[in-house]
Amino acid sequence: MHDSTYKLATLRARIGAIEGGKPSGSAALFALGHDRLDARLGGGIARGRLHELFAADPVDQSSVTGFALMLAMRLGSDPFVWLRQDGGVRSSGELYAPGLIDLGCDPARIIEVQVPDETALLRAAGDAVRCQQLAAVLIEPWKGARAFDLTASRRLSIAAEKSGVTVLALRSAADPGPSAAYTRWRVRAIPSQVLEAGAPGLATIEITLLRHRGGIAAFHQRLEWDRDQAIFHEPPLSGAVVPVPAGGSFAAGPARRRAG
Amino acid sequence: MRIVAASPLALQAGMAPGMGLADARAQLPDLAIFDLDRAADTVWLDRIADGCARYTPMVALDGVDGLILDISGCAHLFGGEAGLRADLIGRLRRLGMTVRAALAETPDAAHAQARYGRDVGAMPVEALELPPEDMIALRRAGLKRVDDLTARPSAPLAARFGEVATDRLVRVAGGRDIHISPRRPEPALVIERGFAEPLGHVTAMLAALAQLAEEAARRMQETHRGGRRFEAQLFRTDGLVRSLGIETGLPTREVPLLMRLFDERIATLHDPIDPGFGFDLVRLSVPLLEPLDPFQLRLEGGSVADDEIARLVDRLSTRLGHGRVRRYAPRDSHIPEQAMLVFPAIAPRPTSPWPAPTPGEPPLRPVQLFDPPQLIEVVAGIPDGPPRQFRWRRTLYEVMRAEGPERIGALWWRRADNQGLSRDYYRVEDRHGHRFWLFRHGIYEREAASPRWYLHGLFA
């Protein structure tokens, strides 16, 4: 009996060694500051993992950028590296510092790296992920990014686990393919809460969890970014004036959202 | 067209610089003629000058066809002055050059001797290199050689041809020493190693470079210094030289780091390093030394933290180029695309803090900006009202919410004609919640009859 437990343990250790960095269940989490969402995710999103963000439509890519920035802000105040590919910069524009401030992100935190192609992107990402002092590494492969495959994403996520640096892959122009990402999200812009005189309001998005390695089922969530407190809110439904109380019941969530 | 330079063979056949091309062709119909290419000549002379850095750091260009080397205190390394001269001439001849070299006490004397012969007295007056009309005057006066001038009192000469003439005379005769200004400032630290058997492989060269780096690191350690720029110069046996430069954000003297950066630099070269017949001299120079305390780990790990990010920036900047690894600084301009300054992360600069947004306001500026703005087709309710719908990248967007206009004036005071169109910016949201930043270029009727619309940015 004793012997077999020991054997099992050694076997597990050996398999673990072969597999390299197998995602361990006990990843540190960072909360999004939205009680219901955090509860649903079991406390938040895992640090030191690779997360992929997709756009529902190509024109939603600025919402993907926004969501990635918001996550980076939730990850602390250390500098982060943003790797962008030339083609992507051409098609979606340069990052604009005054706009980053308007989302609450200090542009001084950002080290932007523009790379000519995917190979250079993955190579630079590999270097950046190993730098433990970074809060996050945001990588933006352009279009299909064939080189960003299962192997490449697995390599990145193993490196991320070792260093504890969170990697966010912004894949606005790509369709979800096989990858080793820990979670996978789809982001789309939704109409914001109208301000006075019919002005568009705060950054408002809907995120969809497509996949979670921890086995959390897919769900939708509408979010409004509160820059002043750097947290997510539930956006008020159009016409509704009463904000959803913090920690509202689970069951009520989906029904209300569908109604909205 | 005239002949500017002629080969020794052509000179023997009676050709001379200054001769008309037609005359030359008449004498020698099968004369080979090449167009003068000053730029290429300069580049070539520069390369030779780089190669001459193996003898002395004091190398200066002398006109369009000459180099001056100050070899004070260097000659013994090459077996004396004659040895150095022979080595230099040998290398240049192997490159196919015709060389005339002269050794003299002063740069001017050497310049004159290389061009007009060893004997100062016997030189023609042209060696003084005075303006052509003065030359003619001297010749007409029967003064043909430098001798004729030195034999005479200098006061009448100065009265007739000016101080310049007497000054030139003294300098050509070697009477006044001037300092040449080298092409490059002398580096603060130079470590080099010569090889009797040239290194034919890049790996061997890198090993040699690593040894030099260790030696340099040791010397910098002794004086508590570090460098931010390092240059490796690889001298080939045929006299050419290849330079590799690396740069770091913070002063350093870590050998593994330097070697990694050199590897990165070599990997990014467009034309790979060609050892030719081998490198016989490898030199590592540090142009500037900066204070760098002995490395110390802080308990709380503060300094090490910055260090790691700085190293990452160094690596990526070396691999991709400085302009591709960037940070942002605020700039005081109301023109949206000029409101931020992008600078290379490897060259840190003091930045002022960014202005804080007003609490409670929605984002007023987009996260992504198109520069230049993208032209769109807009349907507006009234010509100076907000847009109703617009077409961007072949998709039609229906505007549900709009805020504006926020009028941003042009920099008319910068323009000669005081012109420039104002822009009326609108923040708009379409039916699906996409938020855009649009502007109308020019005020309707006042500035433009039918103003164009542009999409300038995207909100999150």
| Interval B419-436: pLDDT, tens | 778 899 999 999 999 999
The answer to whether residue A237 neighbours chain B at the CB level (below 8 Å) is no
pLDDT at B216: 93
The stretch B242-261 carries a mean pLDDT of 88
Of A237-241, B127-131, B228-232, which one has max mean pLDDT?
B228-232
Highest mean pLDDT among A14-23, A63-72, B248-257: A63-72
pLDDT over 70 for what percent of chain A? 86
Q: How much is the pLDDT for A243?
A: 41
pLDDT for A19 equals: 62
pLDDT of A195 strictly over 90: no
Answer whether B184's CB lies under 8 Å from B50's CB: no
Under the banding of pLDDT at 50, 70 and 90, the label for residue B124 is confident
Contact flag B363-A106 (C-beta cutoff 8 Å): no
Per-residue model confidence (pLDDT) at position B295 = 58
Which one of B368, B374, B437 makes the best mutation probe of the A interface by having the most chain A beta carbons within 10 Å? B368
Higher pLDDT, A242 or B296: B296
Residue in A with minimal Cα distance to B373 = A93
Banded pLDDT at A190 (limits 50, 70, 90): very high
pLDDT at B459 over 90: yes
Residues of B in Cβ contact (< 8 Å) with A228: 359-360
Task: Point out the least confidently predicted range of A143-157, A179-193, B321-335.
Answer: A143-157
Task: Answer yes or no: is pLDDT of B129 > 60.
Answer: yes
Which residue in chain A has the smallest CA separation from B403?
A199
Calpha distance A232→A224 (Å, rounded):
6
pLDDT tens digit sequence for B197-216: 999 888 899 999 999 999 99
Work out the angle at residue A72's Cα, subtended by the Cα atoms of residues A47 and A26, and round it to the nearest 5 degrees: 10
Encoded tokens for A18: 């072969």
Residue A241's pLDDT is 41
Return the residue in B335, B394, B435 with the most chain A beta carbons within 10 A, the one to mutate for interface testing.
B435
User: Is residue A59 less than 8 Å (CB to CB) from chain B?
Assistant: yes
Mean pLDDT across chain B = 86
pLDDT at residue A245 above 50?
no
Contact between B172 and B128 (Cβ < 8 Å) = yes
pLDDT at B269 over 90: no
Integer Cα distance of B329 and A244 in angstroms: 39
Whether A110 and chain B come into contact, CB under 8 Å, resolves to yes
| pLDDT band per the 50, 70, 90 thresholds, residue B94 | confident
User: Does A227 contact B at CB distance below 8 Å?
Assistant: yes
**The CA-based dihedral angle spanning residues B180, B182, B186, B190, taken in that order and rounded to the nearest 10 degrees:** -110
A99 and B365 in contact by Cβ < 8 A? yes
B319 contacts on A by Cβ (under 8 Å): 120, 123-124
- Asked if the ipTM is above 0.90, the reply is no
Indicate the pLDDT class of residue A112, thresholds 50, 70 and 90. very high
List the Cα angle B392/B395/B397 in 5-degree steps: 80
A94 at interface of B, judged by CB pairs closer than 8 A: yes
pLDDT in tens, B138-147: 888 888 888 8
Average pLDDT over residues B276-293: 88
* Cβ distance of B434 and A189 shorter than 8 Å: yes
Give the range among A22-26, A77-81, B396-400, B410-414 with minimum mean pLDDT: A22-26
Average pLDDT over every residue of A161-174? 91
Q: Which residues of B fall within a CB distance of 8 Å from A140?
A: none
A230 touches chain B (CB under 8 A): no
pLDDT of residue B231: 92
> Which chain B residue lies closest to A84 (C-alpha atoms)?
B324
3-state SS, chain B, equals: CECCCCCHHHHHCCCCCCCEHHHHHHHCCCCCCCCCCHHHHHHHHHHHHHHHCCCCCCEEEECCCEEEECCCCCHHHHCHHHHHHHHHHHHHHHCCCCCCCCCCCCHHHHHHHHHHCCCCCCCEHHHHCCCHHHHHHHHHCCCCEHHHHHCCCHHHHHHHHCHHHHHHHHHHCCCCCCCCCCCCCCCCEEEEEEEEEEECCHHHHHHHHHHHHHHHHHHHHHCCEEEEEEEEEEEECCCCEEEEEEEEEEEECCHHHHHHHHHHHHHCCCCCCCCCCCEEEEEEEECCEEECCCCCCCCCCHHHHHHHHHHHHHHHHHHHCHHHEEEEEECCCCCHHHCEEEEECCCCCCCCCCCCCCCCCCCCCCCEEEEEEEEEEEEECCCCCCEEEEEECCEEEEEEEEEEEEEECCCHHHCCCCCCCCEEEEEEEECCCCEEEEEEECCECCCECCCEEEEEEECC
If you average pLDDT over residues B318-347, what whole number do you get?
90
Contact B312 A131 (CB under 8 A): yes
A89 touches chain B (CB under 8 A): no
Mean local confidence (pLDDT), A19-28: 59
Cross-chain residue pair A191–B308, CB shorter than 8 Å: no
Region A23-38: what's the mean pLDDT? Answer: 80
Q: What is the pLDDT of residues B12-22, one digit of tens each?
A: 888 888 888 88
- Lowest mean per-residue pLDDT among A87-96, B240-249, B297-306: B297-306
